[in-house]
Structure 1
Amino acid sequence: MRFTTVDYIIFALLLILSSAIGLYYALSGGKQRTTQEFLLANRSMGFIPVSLSLLATFQSAVAILGVPSEIYRFGTEYWFLGCSYILGLLIPAYIFIPVFYRLRLTSTYEYLELRFSKIVRICGTVTFIFQMVIYMGVVLYAPALAFNAVTGFSLWGVVLTMGLVCTLYTTLGGLKAVIWTDVIQTLVMFAGQLAVIIVGTAKVGGIQDVWSIALENNKISGINFNPDPFVRHSIWSLGIGGIFLMLSLYGVNQAQVQRYLSSRTEKEAILSCYAVFPCQQLVLGLGCLTGLVMFAYYQKNEIQNPEMIAVPDQMVLYFVMDILQDFPGLPGLFVACLFSGALSTISSAFNSLATVTMEDLIKPYYPGLTESRATLLSKGLALTYGLLCLGMAYISSLMGSVLQAALSIFGIVGGPLLGIFCLGFFFPFTNSIGAVTGLLAGLVMAFWIGISSFVDRMAAGASSSPVLNVTSAPDVGNLTTTVLTTLLTSTMAPKGPTGMKRFHALSYMWYSAHNSTTVVIVGIIVSLLTGPMKGRDVDPRTVYLVLPKLLFFLPERYKEKLRFGVPHVAEDNPNLIVEEKSCNGFLNGNVKGSEKDDMEESAIGFSRTDGGHSYVVQETSL
């Protein structure tokens, strides 16, 4: 099973087109001469390309290979993850996106400094960089390894080609190039998956045969209402645990937030989040259908080389090469689809890492940096992270089984990061000490569970030699959660685990929820013990007071207490505080005449409405 000339041409066209888009944006428009253009596309993008880019960022190669493999072996229960998409996308659209967009951020972690302090911002940034650097090598090496196994391509030739092409168009074209290549790559992904489904279904005998074979072999799963958190998949772990996974991806992850911030308006940013919902459902459905078609095909046809699919991630590529060998060009289309997923994820990683490094770790300490030098440095950072990605891919190749432990550890970083943002958004009395302590507690808990779970499974494998199952990635693919779902799980779990070992068996779908909850609980307790933050010291633009909204039926005086003293924000312009802080307390209403002039002279940081009557006064010098 080898590529034909037509397959090589189709695959090469994808790489050439991606590079051409980067070159185009390097030579047109503003020519990537400012950091705003390079990192945020001059905040000029429409919601359609942004939404497709949001989808492509986490529809990685691991997902394209993993979801069908999951369905092939365990049935369609995984499909219920789609239930989590509703709240997992509505909450970012209503809460996270408006706050981030109105604050005019570049890095998500700027929010942590506005809400807490600089040390919290740095902790968040360093955690994110650690997460992404590990992931970059993995997402590049894993599909290249599977591709090499079934097509005979040179492994390191594929790794170098992908890494260099991706680095080229990201460094030259900035975020605009990343978003528009994501659009092209998304379309290629859909085309590749559809080609496999159509041809595979025809070879099985039709969609009815696919369904009946799956039904006869118990691959069509019912709803599992078992509330046990140690059960691998249930409606609760997929539906509720999945919400936390989605929030860590589409709510607070830098790669996604950066796309929201590149939108022309706040409305377009929110629309892009809405538009992702049907796309995600479609992608999940295509992945599940591919798995069912693959299962039905091999029920009717013998697997010629069983050793080729010993590793689950190779199953899909083997199936593709098997059924499409009589259709020159279609194998190349699917491989282009596979590597589109990898390219879109890696390019997003390069760009987001360059952004947080520049905005959080360089600019604050070099305020005199000129715009031209900052832009050049941003491009240098993107290039550096691209080369680092190749190095991480090499390290991944040396890790062997330890790679799975690295994947597990990386995947659970998203939960603590979500937790620290939830502390800032929903609990206005929490302080920076509570935030840092909560983040550290969440990371410790996450690493403890992940490593212990891995060690326990390795011990079980050594004693009973069970068949290992690499859990597939969710269709949202990666940065935080792709790896979460590639955790090693055994089809023969240790019998009757007790004590702490029982806790190690927690379903991977609960990891993000568990770790983010740990951050919130520890952060609240430590904040209360060390002196809660006073409402008047909190920038009201950085919090979302959920309790007054949920308990809307309470009398006004009780709802006011639930604000914890946070000043009100004007309904028509959320950037403006309507209760200004002065030396005499709060002044309700508009400020006019000489009072306005006096306050203007004494205020530190304020803004006015278009009419010039209302002021935002954060502090005064009186």
Structure 2
Amino acid sequence: MENPLTTAGVQFNQTENLAHFMFGWPDYSLFSLLLLVSVLIGVYFGFFSKQDSTTEYLLGGKRMGSFPVAMSIVASHVSGITLLGIPAEVFHHGTQYAMCVITATLTAIITSYIFLPVFYKLQLTSTFEYLEIRFARPVRILSSVLFTISLFMYVPIVIYVPAIAFAQVTNLSVHMITPILCIVCIIYTSIGGLKAVVWTDTIQFSVTVGGLFTVLMLGILSVGSVGDVWRISGEGGRLIFFNMDPSPLARNTFWGMLVGMTATWIGHLAIHPGAVQRYLSVPREIDAKHGIVITAIGMIVVKLITVFTGLIMFAKYYNCDPLLTKAISRTDQTLPYYVMDVAGHLPGLPGLFLAGLVSAALATMSASLNTVSGTIYEDFISSWIPDSPKKEAIAANIMKGIVLIMGAISVGLVFLVERLGPVFQIALSTRGVTDGPMLGLFILGILVPWANAKGALFGGCVGLISMLWMVGGAQWYTMQGRIKHDSLPTSIDGCPYPLNETLTIAIPTTTSPTWTDPGEEPMILFQISFMHYNIIGAAIVVVVGIIASYAFGGVNLESVDPDHIAPIMRRFLPPRKYAEVSLREVPPSLLDVSSKK
């Protein structure tokens, strides 16, 4: 395979772009049908199912099954960032992300045996309530604020991704599509509660997987065969599974996936209120563990499909990169371009795929809105509502109102996302500010019996400030163009466009971080890969929290409730002392009566 890695001089005619790849009526029909089904599910559970308490609204009455709960978690995790970002990541940086097989396995084991036993035993509606009973209310408030900020940084990105993809194949603008998608999601989430979210997620996830498989097969046929895809990817240097570079500056390595991504997924699946909320919606702990196993398997399948889709895209465009030809303006548009290229001649199929993208976004947004409504109510509003027989019904209505308000704010924030970079990198980077410190607080509570409230609060604040400085500095230098990770090389040698005037296009060949002015090299901490942000944030909180706990007087281990500690750490707690209660002396007359009988 010819793979020119030198500078090329080419001027392309804009004959091949997305303008002529437009939706037809079958595409619009399938797309609209999915949105209608989502709304109808919300209406059904909102008006024909019991939704008059926080248990019903947030936990589905604890009668949910393991499979739909697992599919809901997977659907919530597999957003448009996954479907668009990972194939583009593989196309430009190789297949190191395929090591998510190990990441998912480790996450499932850690969640099942460390975090789940504690949360299921306590049966708390909000996971942040755990931090209050383990430490103190200020720690809970800190974590709730971190979580809310995290969602507000994440949800707009999630919604923007399918909106920009949909705008590529229609005459509608992103600013028109985004409110429509958000309104549909807000309606079925606010009306139907967790039951609507879980069942809608399950249906939407099925559509997503169906679209992915279909596009996958068409792509393989367009390239030739699976063997051709593998051969071209190998020759193009995309088959990277065990990059053992120990440097934390490398963009993505085996260690980044093993350590950094595992910490990220634990934050999303083990302590995330939305995931824990679903674990508690099943009747038994063993059912929750079954759900975690199904979740891990589902995530592995979907992630590997997206990785292989990236390889197919490279095999198809390795010698005519649509980004270099200006057919697309962002790397995240590579997948929609590819879909319209291989499936645009089949009526309805592009609509099915776009419906899958939108489904993934709606699933993530609905789960986030449902979760943040419960978090805000439990942590900031519940204490202000007087106890009364109608408190549960009032709470459910308040949470529905919170969903409406938070959804509207998310719509507004979407318009800021247009200024961001590649969605895969920016999503992990921005959430690294808050998710790492949050994970550190829960690790302190569940795995460190010696930590106290003052130490946890101090460690959490130090972790937040440190990550805000590190991530903020890295993003600043990145926006200034002084730090960037160049992609692996592609070619324009095989493009069918006629050559006119010469345009020099430099094709980079390195994936190491570079900067424009060697004399002003950014601090090395700002060059650390975004894959490590979560583990760094958590480590800062844990280390500082332990030191601060001892500095503030330590903790009496006898006062620590074993139910608040992971089973593997309870051995370090002293045996619990039980108060002696004297037995009441039995009168002799009763003994005589008993003996006569």
2:542 maps to 520
SS of aligned partner of 1:286: helix
Q: Which amino acid aligns with 1:431?
A: N
Q: Which residue of 1 aligns with 2:474?
A: 453
Tell me, yes or no, if structure 1 residue 436 matches structure 2 residue 457: yes
Q: Among residues 233, 238, 253, which one is paired with 1:214 in the alignment?
A: 233
Alpha-carbon distance in structure 2 between the residues aligned to 1:302 and 1:98: 49
Instruction: Report what 2:23 is aligned to.
Output: 3
Determine the structure 2 residue equivalent to 1:317: 336
- Conserved? CA contact 2:252–2:531, under 8 Å: yes
SS in structure 1 opposite 2:23?
Answer: coil
Partner of 1:259: 278
Q: Quote the offset at 1:285 in angstroms.
A: 1.0
Q: In angstroms, what is the RMSD of aligned CA positions?
A: 2.6
TM-score, structure 2 as length reference: 0.85
Partner of 1:412: 433
Structure 2 residue ranges without an equivalent (≥5): 1-20, 489-509, 586-597
Letter paired with 2:395: A
Contact 1:409 1:446 in 2 (8 A): no
* Aligned residue identity for 2:397: L
CA distance in 2, matches of 1:406, 1:221: 23
CA shift, 1:91, in A, is 0.8
Change over 3 Å in CA distance of 1:97–1:405 after alignment to 2: closer
1:458 Cα shift? Answer: 3.2
Q: Which has the higher contact order (CA 8 A, sep 6+)?
A: 2
| 1:178-220, Cα deviation, whole Å (9 max, x unpaired) | 0001101111111111111111111111111111111221211
**Is the contact between residue 204 and residue 300 of structure 1 (CA under 8 Å) also seen in structure 2?**
no
Q: Letter of the aligned partner of 1:101 in structure 2?
A: Y
Alpha-carbon spacing, 1:58–1:402, altered in 2? closer, same or farther (3 Å)? closer
Counterpart selection for 2:410 from 378, 386, 389 = 389
> Which secondary structure does the structure 2 equivalent of 1:308 belong to?
coil
The C-alpha deviation readout for 1:486-516, integer Å capped at 9, x for no partner, is xxx9865128799971121112111111110
Determine helix, strand or coil for the equivalent of 2:523. helix
SS of 2:22 mapped into structure 1: coil
**Alpha carbons of structure 1 residues 199 and 232: separation in structure 2 relative to 1, 3 Å:** same
Take 1:358 and 1:125, find their aligned partners in 2: how far apart are those partners? 11
Q: CA deviation at 1:167?
A: 0.3
Deviations 1:369-393 (A, max 9, x none): 5222112111111122122221222
2:346 to 312, 327, 347: 327
Deviates more, 1:366-375 or 1:314-323: 366-375
Q: Is the 8 A contact 1:51 1:276 kept in 2?
A: yes
| Contact 1:149 1:308 survives alignment (8 Å) | no
**Counterpart position of 1:16:** 36
Change (3 A) 1:325 1:509: same
Task: Describe the shift of the 1:593–1:79 C-alpha distance in structure 2 as closer, same or farther (beyond 3 A).
Answer: same
Larger Rg: 1 or 2? 2
Worse overlay, 346-355 or 134-143: 134-143
Question: Residues 88 and 401 of structure 1: is their aligned pair in 2 closer, same or farther, counting only changes over 3 Å?
Answer: closer
Q: In structure 2, which of residues 583, 586, 595 is the aligned counterpart of residue 593 of structure 1?
A: 583
Q: Deviations over 1:295-354 (max 9, x none)?
A: 111247775993232311111011111111111111001101101110000001110011
Residues 279 and 402 of structure 1, relative CA distance in 2, 3 Å threshold? closer
Residue identity opposite 2:371 in structure 1: S
AA matched with 2:465: V
- Counterpart CA distance in 2 for 1:405 and 1:210 is 29
Partner secondary structure for residue 327 of structure 2: helix
How far is the alpha carbon of 1:59 from its aligned partner?
A: 0.3
Q: Contact 2:114/2:568 (CA < 8 Å) preserved in 1? A: no
Contact in 2 for aligned 1:89/1:246 (Cα 8 Å): no
- CA–CA distance in 2 between the matches of 1:377 and 1:520? 35
Letter in 1 for 2:346: F
Secondary structure in structure 2 of the residue aligned to 1:593? coil
- Residue of structure 2 aligned with 1:362, choices 378, 381, 402: 381
Specify the alignment match of 1:168 in structure 2: 187
Paired position in structure 1 for 2:358: 339
Q: Which residue of 1 aligns with 2:393?
A: 372
- Please state if 1:226 is matched with 2:245: yes
State whether structure 2 residue 49 is matched by structure 1 residue 29.
yes
Tell me, in whole angstroms, the C-alpha distance in 2 between the residues paired with 1:516 and 1:456: 24
Distance 1:429 1:594 in 2: 40
**1:538 aligns to what?**
560
Identity %: 34
Distance 1:395 1:459 in 2: 18
CA 1:188–1:531: 2 relative to 1, 3 Å: same
Distance 1:60 1:304 in 2: 23
| Superposition deviation, residue 401 in structure 1 | 6.5
Contact 1:405-1:451 within 8 A present in 2 as well: no
SS at match of 1:295: helix
Cα 1:438/1:466, change in 2 over 3 Å: closer
Q: Which amino acid aligns with 2:247?
A: D
The answer to whether the 8 A contact 2:233-2:315 is kept is: yes
The amino acid across from 1:13 in the alignment is L
- Relative to the length of structure 1, the TM-score reads 0.82
Q: Measure the CA separation in 1 of the matches of 2:541 and 2:155.
A: 26
How many angstroms does 1:24 deviate by? 0.9
8 A contact 2:428–2:531 mirrored in 1: no
After superposition, the C-alpha distances for 1:104-129 in whole angstroms (9 at most, x for unaligned) are: 10011010111001111111111111
Indicate yes or no: 2:327 matched with 1:308.
yes
Match of 2:57 in 1: 38
Give the direction of change, closer, same or farther, for the CA distance of 1:172–1:321 in structure 2 (3 Å limit).
same
Measured at CA, do residues 214 and 466 of structure 1 come closer, stay the same or move farther in structure 2, by a change above 3 Å?
Answer: closer
Distance 1:55 1:225 in 2: 29
Query: How far apart, in 2, do the equivalents of 1:312 and 1:302 lie?
Result: 10
* Alpha carbons 2:331, 2:422 under 8 Å: kept: no
Whole-angstrom distance in 2 between the partners of 1:74 and 1:522: 35
Contact 2:323 2:330 in 1 (8 A): no
Shift in Å at residue 156 of structure 1? Answer: 2.3
Q: Distance in 1 between matches of 2:428 and 2:239?
A: 29
Whether the 8 Å CA contact 1:137–1:392 is kept in 2: the answer is yes
Q: Secondary structure at the match of 1:328?
A: coil
The letter for the 1-side match of 2:38 is S
- What is the CA deviation profile of residues 442-472 of structure 1, one whole-angstrom value per residue up to 9, with x for unaligned ones? 111111111111222334449xx99689xxx
Q: Alignment partner of 1:184: what SS? A: helix
Distance in 2, matches of 1:207 and 1:536, equals 61
Distance 1:459 1:171 in 2: 41
Q: Which amino acid aligns with 1:422?
A: I
Q: How has the CA–CA distance of structure 1 residues 33 and 279 changed in structure 2, closer, same or farther, with 3 Å as cutoff?
A: same
